[in-house]
A and B are shown apart, each in its own frame.
Chain A
Amino acid sequence: MKIFKIKLLPAALLLALSGGVGTVNAAVFVQCPGDDNGNAIWDEGEVQPAANTKCMHLIAGDSFAVMSDDNPLYIFGYGDQTGTLASEVIKEGILDAEWPGPTVELEQNDEFYLSLTNVGTVIRPDLFDPHTIHFHGFPNASAVFDGVPEVSISINMGATLTYYYNVVEPGTYIYHCHVEATEHMEMGMLANLYVHPLQDVTGCVDALGVPNGNCSVATRKGGTDPGAPTGYTYNDGDGTTAWDVEQPLQVSAFDSEFHDASLFVQPLPFAALKGDYPQINGRGYPDTINPGIMPPPADNWASIVGADGEIHPAGKVTGNPGETLNNDTPTQLLDSNATVTAGQTLLLRLSNVGLDRFYTLTAPGLTMKIVGTGARHMRNAAGDKNLYREVASVNFGGGETHDVLVDTTGVAPGTYFLHATELHQMSNLTQLDGGMMTEIVVQ
């Protein structure tokens, strides 16, 4: 059994050495207007140029995540180092990838400067993979900021690429790495991204931008109308996409064989790829409803039996059952809870980043109305007809996003499940009653 003991100094040294091979002058270099010290935030004495200037600094690297049956899986991912000085980013970013990546939440008309620093994959020192960010669904994308390495550029280890996005279309998107897409996405370089509409600020307006009285300013933007919702999903002009509580839910599945092959430096099974840990926001049930962050990943205490009967012994990664992985840094930060008061409307920002199959979600006892697909309001081209669909299930494949409203008017208080209708997806490998399932609590 290989033993992986991760120490920061050798890891950083390794990165420096490997970075020295082909990356002359490589350096962390954050571009954020008004930010002088390169930490991607405006400290005292620094001036944010405008309220709609937004900056974020992500790292791309590796770490571990623990499945709900205690199985630790090696991952690639993004971590958030916004606020970290450039000189500290490599040190802080190593083994700090999150699963899923940090959620990116934006406002329409933001100018978004997104810096990506590649801190390398220290668990796999034989790799020197570049990384990118693909803002999935971005309108009128240019090749340079689209993040597809074959037709664009990707960032090498130890260096930073800053993406610029002028954000004009509200809706539910995705971001993910596009380098060796099958591998890097299966390994976990996936995350939620969504954009709030200008209507939150203005209330309903007509085509000329003049308030039409159909709906008022959203409370999340200071609205004081007692009937105002927290927010809107799109610039609908009629208030039909209003919501009180929102929850992004990103469905995916890890193939444990693939992750173990990567960890143990084996050929990757592309043709045989099959997700066996269905998840929502990077967790299988019941961890989906554990509020807040999960504890730092630890090596498995007990042996785990795989789908084909193969046995992963206790301490699969380090040989030491229970040993903390990842320098004690938590990696699974996002729960999938939604709590609403009866009568409120819940917005589910659904995205599917599964690599090998379609999924169908349902929420027995609740109704669902799809008001947006592919980060666009479900309205016809002429703009005179809403094409909303009232459904009991949402079937979607990888790359599809749906904005779904759940109106809880008249719903009896209680706990409702949201789960995959492919009921065998409700498992964590061989452990039943898990997987692609979470809870919606109506108070």
Chain B
Amino acid sequence: MIKIRQKTVRLLSMLLLGMAMTTIVSQSMAAGHDIRGIKPQGGTTFNLYAFPFNMNLPDGSSMHMWGFGDMNGGANASHPEGNGYSLPQYPAPTLIVDEGDTITINVTNFGVPEPVSMVIAGHKANAVGGTPGLVTRQAGLNETVAYTFTANQPGTYLYHSMGGINPGLHSEMGLVGALIVRPTGFDSAGNRIAYGATTEYEQEFLYLLSEMDPDIHVQMERGHYSHFTNSDRHAAIWFVNGRVFPDLFQGDYNPLFPHQPYQSLSLSHAGDRVLVRAVNTGHDSHPFHFHGENLRFIARDGRLLSSDGGVTPDLGRSDNTLNSAPKQTVDMIWTWTGKDLNWDIYGPVATNGCTDSDHNMLDDATGAACHDNICIDVNPVDGFDDVNHEYCADHGKAIPVSLPGVQDLTLGGWWSGSPFLGDTGDLPPGEGGLNPFGGYFLVWHSHAEKELTTWDIFPGGSLSTMVVVPPYVPIQ
């Protein structure tokens, strides 16, 4: 009975985590994770609409929002799971375009009670239609404005509405999104670069940070448009990619969160270069802290941190916490290797004669996890196994301390039961279960810990995670 229950929990959690692994393929076959979004129709045009909606939060509240949606219903979604997705969403659709393209974004206001507009950070946009607004032309009810710009330089940008009688209200209410310009030569399968050739990466994730004052949303839901004032804004909910903990672990385009299509669960293998595109669409600064390892800054506001004309990001420093300013974007590269821990993160070397000739850490014959006694560091000589990136100097070293028994511990839901990567251990019934593959969960979160709450409820808010998974787990 208990075993069945544990298996059920594990199956559920596997689905919840979006890590469903039906077949095991080697790392080299996986292209790596790309940020989800939409691409322009015919390479030139986005058709967005603005509409109010309500989204549910895990504290039980229902938050009134204004959002952009894709009028083409995900016809040009970057990934199949986005096909057919047409709801107004928070954040707005992540727009993914290519360097050099001239792009038109048609914005139609189908129901937001204030005129809606679009500001595209870092770009010179030309607006046609609607009526003149505060900073650009704006679309009143059932009006359309076309914003045209050329994506001259690769990088990470954001766009948002700013107009009407309350310019500060529109991004608060949700009319904000990210824009990604892929560099010339980018190829998702073969040439994964953020800017030039010196910015290669294996995995790419969006960290769109924002916060909300729920009182403002209540006032807007009640139609009290004149009750908005910036002076007493007091944020009480903090988001990553438009979701809060724990919703933000639970898969892209999950129908449980109809208006919040983007999760914030990052995955990496040891040694992967992980591109983090951090976008602060809020009104407040956030100190965002990355567990596991420092990141190297490479760009800010879509420009390489470079003194050599954009060839290398040679002005980028290292840090483990991002001082993220409102409406600022920062690109960073994070790489976790497990180097120098002085114990073998894959645990004891197998003594049962398993064979792993292709170094994918699975037995050649049975496909079961196999940590054999081989660590080959020949080409390149960098201290790591050439295929699975195990740190050879620590290979076979025992963990130096013993862990207390489970009766002395409080066990996290995402604790695998084992200190070793790719391993699981026995846990009491009802404990753990959310980490069936033995990944290393390294949380990425706001280090203003007040922001780890959802409207007075802890835990919640801006608490995301990176999961380092074994070499044989594909990331797509």
* Chain B residues with a Cβ under 8 A of chain A: 234, 236, 285-287, 289, 291-294, 296, 307, 312-321, 323, 336-343, 345, 399-405, 407-415, 419, 421, 435, 440-443, 446-450, 452-453, 455-459, 465
The answer to whether residues A151 and B465 also contact, given A139-B294, A166-B341 and a CB cut-off of 8 A, is: yes
- In whole Å, how far is B126's beta carbon from the nearest beta carbon of chain A? 36
Q: B317, B339, B407: which contacts A140 (Cβ < 8 A)?
A: B339
- In whole Å, how far is B100's beta carbon from the nearest beta carbon of chain A? 28
The reply on A35 being an interface residue by CB < 8 A is no
- In whole Å, how far is B425's beta carbon from the nearest beta carbon of chain A? 11
A161 to B409, Cβ gap below 8 A?
yes
A31 to B318, alpha carbons, bound, how many Å? 34
B412 to A398, Cβ gap below 8 A?
no
A395 to B325, alpha carbons, bound, how many Å? 12
A136 to B404, Cβ gap below 8 A?
no
Q: Which residues of chain A come closer than 8 Å to B315, judged between CB atoms?
A: 380, 385, 387
A149 to B412, Cβ gap below 8 A?
yes
A142 to B338, Cβ gap below 8 A?
yes
Of the listed stretches A289-297, A371-379, A424-432, name the one at the interface; the rest are far from the partner chain. A371-379
Residue from B399, B412, B465 with most neighbouring chain A CB atoms (10 Å): B412
A356 to B415, alpha carbons, bound, how many Å? 29
Q: Which residues of chain B come closer than 8 Å to A357, judged between CB atoms?
A: 448
- In whole Å, how far is A379's beta carbon from the nearest beta carbon of chain B? 8
A151 to B407, Cβ gap below 8 A?
no
A142 to B323, Cβ gap below 8 A?
no
A26 to B317, Cβ gap below 8 A?
no
B447 to A381, Cβ gap below 8 A?
no
Q: B318, B319, B407, B452: which contacts A23 (Cβ < 8 A)?
A: B407
Q: Which residues of chain B come closer than 8 Å to A396, judged between CB atoms?
A: 287, 323
Q: A150, A158, A160, A352: which contacts B412 (Cβ < 8 A)?
A: A150
A180 to B458, Cβ gap below 8 A?
yes
The reply on A9 being an interface residue by CB < 8 A is no
> A16-56 toward B: CB 8 Å interface, digit per residue (1/0)?
00000011111001010100000000000000000000000
A-side interface size class: 35 or more
Q: Which residues of chain B come closer than 8 Å to A354, judged between CB atoms?
A: 448
Nearest A-chain residue to B397, judged by Cβ: A166
Q: Which residues of chain B come closer than 8 Å to A164, judged between CB atoms?
A: 342-343, 399-401
- In whole Å, how far is A111's beta carbon from the nearest beta carbon of chain B? 7
- In whole Å, how far is A190's beta carbon from the nearest beta carbon of chain B? 10
The answer to whether residues A31 and B402 also contact, given A139-B294, A374-B294 and a CB cut-off of 8 A, is: yes
The answer to whether residues A397 and B319 also contact, given A152-B412, A168-B340, A381-B296 and a CB cut-off of 8 A, is: no
Known: A140-B337, A181-B449. 9 other contacts (CB 8 A): A33-B400, A144-B419, A150-B441, A151-B441, A181-B452, A358-B285, A375-B294, A376-B317, A380-B315
Q: Which residues of chain A come closer than 8 Å to B403, judged between CB atoms?
A: 144, 153, 161
> A235-264 toward B: CB 8 Å interface, digit per residue (1/0)?
000000000000000000000000000000
A160 to B404, Cβ gap below 8 A?
yes
**Chain A residues numbered 349-383 whose CB sits less than 8 Å from any CB in chain B:** 352, 354-358, 373-376, 378-382
The answer to whether residues A270 and B407 also contact, given A164-B399, A381-B314 and a CB cut-off of 8 A, is: no
Of the A-B pairs whose beta carbons lie under 8 Å apart in the complex, a sample of 17, sorted by A's number, is A23-B407, A24-B407, A137-B320, A141-B291, A142-B419, A143-B440, A151-B435, A153-B412, A156-B407, A161-B403, A183-B458, A355-B448, A356-B448, A357-B448, A373-B317, A396-B287, A397-B287
A142 to B400, alpha carbons, bound, how many Å? 13
Q: B341, B399, B410, B419: which contacts A130 (Cβ < 8 A)?
A: B410
A272 to B435, alpha carbons, bound, how many Å? 34
The answer to whether residues A182 and B287 also contact, given A140-B293, A151-B414, A152-B412 and a CB cut-off of 8 A, is: no
Q: Which 10 A-B pairs have the closest CB atoms?
A: A397-B287, A399-B447, A151-B441, A374-B319, A166-B342, A159-B408, A144-B419, A376-B318, A130-B410, A151-B414
- In whole Å, how far is A132's beta carbon from the nearest beta carbon of chain B? 9
A271 to B408, Cβ gap below 8 A?
no
A399 to B337, Cβ gap below 8 A?
no
B415 to A140, Cβ gap below 8 A?
no
Q: Which residues of chain A come closer than 8 Å to B450, judged between CB atoms?
A: 182, 270, 273, 355-356
> A83-94 toward B: CB 8 Å interface, digit per residue (1/0)?
000000000000
- In whole Å, how far is A192's beta carbon from the nearest beta carbon of chain B? 16
The answer to whether residues A152 and B449 also contact, given A160-B404, A373-B317, A400-B323 and a CB cut-off of 8 A, is: no
- In whole Å, how far is A361's beta carbon from the nearest beta carbon of chain B? 14
> A116-141 toward B: CB 8 Å interface, digit per residue (1/0)?
00000000000000100000110111
Q: Which residues of chain A come closer than 8 Å to B400, judged between CB atoms?
A: 33, 111, 113, 164
B408 to A397, Cβ gap below 8 A?
no
Nearest B-chain residue to A139, judged by Cβ: B293
A142 to B345, Cβ gap below 8 A?
yes
Q: Which residues of chain B come closer than 8 Å to A326, judged between CB atoms?
A: none
- In whole Å, how far is A12's beta carbon from the nearest beta carbon of chain B? 18
Q: Which residues of chain A come closer than 8 Å to B402, judged between CB atoms?
A: 31
Q: Which residues of chain A come closer than 8 Å to B236, judged between CB atoms?
A: 271
A156 to B285, Cβ gap below 8 A?
no
A151 to B245, alpha carbons, bound, how many Å? 13
Secondary structure class of chain B's binding surface, majority of residues: loop
Q: A139, A153, A378: which contacts B410 (Cβ < 8 A)?
A: A153
The reply on A146 being an interface residue by CB < 8 A is yes
Nearest B-chain residue to A357, judged by Cβ: B448
A159 to B291, Cβ gap below 8 A?
no
- In whole Å, how far is B240's beta carbon from the nearest beta carbon of chain A? 15
B447 to A376, Cβ gap below 8 A?
no
B456 to A380, Cβ gap below 8 A?
no
A270 to B404, Cβ gap below 8 A?
no
Nearest B-chain residue to A270, judged by Cβ: B453
* Chain A residues with a Cβ under 8 A of chain B: 22-26, 29, 31, 33, 111, 113, 130, 136-137, 139-144, 146, 148-156, 158-164, 166, 168, 179-183, 185-186, 268-273, 352, 354-358, 373-376, 378-382, 385, 387, 395-401
- In whole Å, how far is B190's beta carbon from the nearest beta carbon of chain A? 24
Nearest A-chain residue to B468, judged by Cβ: A143
B313 to A381, Cβ gap below 8 A?
yes
A396 to B447, alpha carbons, bound, how many Å? 11
Q: Which residues of chain B come closer than 8 Å to A358, judged between CB atoms?
A: 285, 287, 323
- In whole Å, how far is A34's beta carbon from the nearest beta carbon of chain B? 13
A137 to B405, Cβ gap below 8 A?
no
Nearest B-chain residue to A268, judged by Cβ: B458
Q: Which residues of chain A come closer than 8 Å to B286, judged between CB atoms?
A: 397
A307 to B40, alpha carbons, bound, how many Å? 54
Nearest A-chain residue to B417, judged by Cβ: A153
A357 to B284, alpha carbons, bound, how many Å? 9
A373 to B322, alpha carbons, bound, how many Å? 11
Q: B407, B440, B443: which contacts A150 (Cβ < 8 A)?
A: B443
Residue from A130, A146, A182, A399 with most neighbouring chain B CB atoms (10 Å): A399
Q: B318, B320, B440: which contacts A399 (Cβ < 8 A)?
A: B320
Q: Which residues of chain B come closer than 8 Å to A33, judged between CB atoms?
A: 400
Q: Which residues of chain A come closer than 8 Å to B447, judged between CB atoms?
A: 397-400
A380 to B412, Cβ gap below 8 A?
no
A436 to B341, alpha carbons, bound, how many Å? 37
The answer to whether residues A397 and B448 also contact, given A25-B407, A153-B411, A155-B408 and a CB cut-off of 8 A, is: yes
Q: Which residues of chain A come closer than 8 Å to B440, judged between CB atoms?
A: 142-143
A140 to B449, Cβ gap below 8 A?
no
- In whole Å, how far is A81's beta carbon from the nearest beta carbon of chain B? 17
- In whole Å, how far is B106's beta carbon from the nearest beta carbon of chain A? 38
Q: Which residues of chain A come closer than 8 Å to B409, judged between CB atoms?
A: 130, 153-156, 159, 161
- In whole Å, how far is B351's beta carbon from the nearest beta carbon of chain A? 22
The answer to whether residues A374 and B458 also contact, given A141-B442, A155-B409, A186-B449 and a CB cut-off of 8 A, is: no
Nearest B-chain residue to A137, judged by Cβ: B320
A374 to B321, Cβ gap below 8 A?
yes
Residue from B313, B323, B399, B459 with most neighbouring chain A CB atoms (10 Å): B323
B318 to A148, Cβ gap below 8 A?
no
A180 to B410, alpha carbons, bound, how many Å? 12
A375 to B293, alpha carbons, bound, how many Å? 11
B404 to A373, Cβ gap below 8 A?
no
- In whole Å, how far is A332's beta carbon from the nearest beta carbon of chain B? 22
